[in-house]
Amino acid sequence: MKIFAETERLILRELVPEDAAGMFEMDGDPEVHLFLGNKPVQSIEQSKADIEFIRKQYIENGIGRWAVIEKSTGNFVGWAGLKLIKELTNNHNNYYDLGYRFSKRFWGKGYATEAAIAVRDYGFNELKLNEIIGIADISNLGSIHVLKKIGLKQISTFGYHGIQHYWMKIEKQA
């Protein structure tokens, strides 16, 4: 399995079917889904299907979300990575969205920032992107803080699935 990035405490690698239990723990938690439409997954089969969907993105788009693994324990922490968004969102399409999601037991450890920095750097250094987008529910203060901390700036506010979100962006430094 391919490792895309490593940080001091984390390994960011391709998602594999064996990650289904960790995905189900994360995505089955209503608190994790508070700012994601409040639709936690109901079965491990859904998590397996989500992994297959992401693995297809690797093939079709050359990128997708990655498993985040804690180096010290080998635990599945969650996922982070870039996703090519082809659908029209806030009058934009074909942009790279930086995202992350973690199981609640790993919150508050700085893993989101650590993983997001690695993802941002991969996007600019390996994929040679000129800009990276972040989208966050305006009530999701934790996610907004992470995006700002790694350099994204609030550009606008827009409705996304009936909820106000920030459109955030960082551009490659010359």
Pick the range with the lowest mean pLDDT from 14-18, 77-81, 84-88, 160-164.
Answer: 160-164
Does the pTM surpass 0.85? The reply is: yes
Residue 32 has pLDDT above 90, yes or no: yes
Tell me the average pLDDT across 15-32: 96
The model's confidence at residue 36, banded by pLDDT at 50, 70 and 90, is: confident
The model's confidence at residue 38, banded by pLDDT at 50, 70 and 90, is: confident
Beta strands across the sheet bearing 153-160:
3-6, 10-14, 65-70, 76-85, 95-102, 131-137, 163-171, 153-160
Determine the pLDDT at residue 60. 96
Determine the pLDDT at residue 14. 97
Please state, rounded to an integer, the average pLDDT across all residues of the chain: 96
Residue 174 has pLDDT above 80, yes or no: no
Tell me the average pLDDT across 128-145: 97
- Dig out the tokens for 29 from the structure: 């938690």
Report helix, strand or coil for 146. helix
How far CA 128 is from CA of 25, 108, 132, 146, in Å, comes to 34, 31, 11, 22
Tell me the average pLDDT across 97-112: 97
Determine the pLDDT at residue 50. 96
Cα(126)–Cα(148) distance, integer angstroms: 22
The model's confidence at residue 173, banded by pLDDT at 50, 70 and 90, is: confident
